[in-house]
Amino acid sequence: MLIYYPCTRLVCLRMSVHNASSTPLVRLNGCGLYAGDRWLVRNLNLQVRPGEIVTLIGPNGSGKTTTARLVVGVAQLSNGNRVAREGLRIGYMPQRMPLDWTLPLSVKRLMRLTNSLSEEEIQNALAATGVAHLLHAQVRRLSGGELQRVLLARVMARKPQLLVLDEPVQGVDLGGEIALYELIARIRDVSGCGILLVSHDLHIVMAATDHVVCINGHICCEGPPSSVVNHAAYQQLFDARAAGLALYQHHHNHTHLPDGRVREEGDEC
């Protein structure tokens, strides 16, 4: 059953369903983060189970990265609570790493930054993402796809039970995007880990996703939908790639203010 929330113009696509089981690895209950005199996100209810790929989508500035950081536990909650399995191992691949990629830095050395890994663990992780041959390569000379695979290997080397990937295909061409999404699906199938995948794009990622959460400061809709919202805002977000899709539309009972806040019915500004 698709769950509808009152929503501004956001979208969901058809997805294949993978059997996820057991209790959630992590769960957000009514969570929000207030900073800079506004709510970055609010009223979030979200969970990821073992063997499940959850894709978080929304426009730029919608709170996707903030939500990912709340799931990981590195951002401070303003309200609500986060519940995680005891001893949960999380692999977090942020959208940006605070490194000067022009400096001399080998893949091998990058793998060991903040990680105490053996030679065998490094080799196995790089082999799992298809870049074992790049062990001694300079990071600054890698292609976009190669770099993302190395960064993915770096977080997988910790053998995470939960993998949080924030825009993992940035800087990668279309063919590389497809290959990376296929790789992420294989990682789920082989390891059984739960995956939270942050994306602003729907046209490829949905193929392996079990559950989609549409966000724009709050959750607008979620579930394994069979169709998408069809209106002008969708076309603005995803342009001509929306052509030919079956679509649905839903309405909203709140207002998105220019400063990013969401005014619910009954709220006072």
Residue positions counted in the chain: 269
Residue 6 has a pLDDT of: 40
Read off the tokens for 39.
């709510």
Residue 31 in this model has a pLDDT that exceeds 90: yes
Residue 268 in this model has a pLDDT that exceeds 70: no
In this prediction, residues 103-112 reach a mean pLDDT of: 92
Using the CB atoms, write b or e for 226-253: b if 16+ within 10 Å. eebbeeeebeebbeeebeebeeeebebe
Task: Tell me the DSSP string of 148-187.
Answer: HHHHHHHHHTT--SEEEEESTTTT--HHHHHHHHHHHHHH
What is the model's pTM? Answer: 0.78
Residue 18: pLDDT band by 50, 70, 90 thresholds?
very low
Residue 204 has a pLDDT of: 63
In order of their start, the domains of the chain are: 3-89+161-264 (3.40.50.300), 100-159 (no CATH)
Residue 264: pLDDT band by 50, 70, 90 thresholds?
low
Q: Which of 196, 163, 171 is nearest to 67 (CA)?
A: 196
C-beta separation of 109 from 140 below 8 A: no
Residue 15 in this model has a pLDDT that exceeds 60: no
Residue 13 has a pLDDT of: 33
In this prediction, residues 79-101 reach a mean pLDDT of: 89
C-beta separation of 187 from 128 below 8 A: yes
**Angle 144-156/119-128 helices, nearest 10 degrees?**
130
C-beta separation of 31 from 79 below 8 A: yes
pLDDT in tens, 118-138: 999 999 999 999 999 999 999
Residue 16: pLDDT band by 50, 70, 90 thresholds?
very low
pLDDT in tens, 168-227: 988 788 888 888 888 999 999 999 999 999 987 666 666 677 888 888 898 877 776 344
Beta pairing, strands 219-223 & 79-84: unpaired
Quote the percentage of the chain above a pLDDT of 70.
72
The Cα diameter of the chain in Å comes to 59
Beta pairing, strands 219-223 & 3-4: antiparallel
Residue 9 has a pLDDT of: 32
pLDDT in tens, 37-84: 999 999 999 999 999 999 888 888 889 999 999 999 999 999 999 999
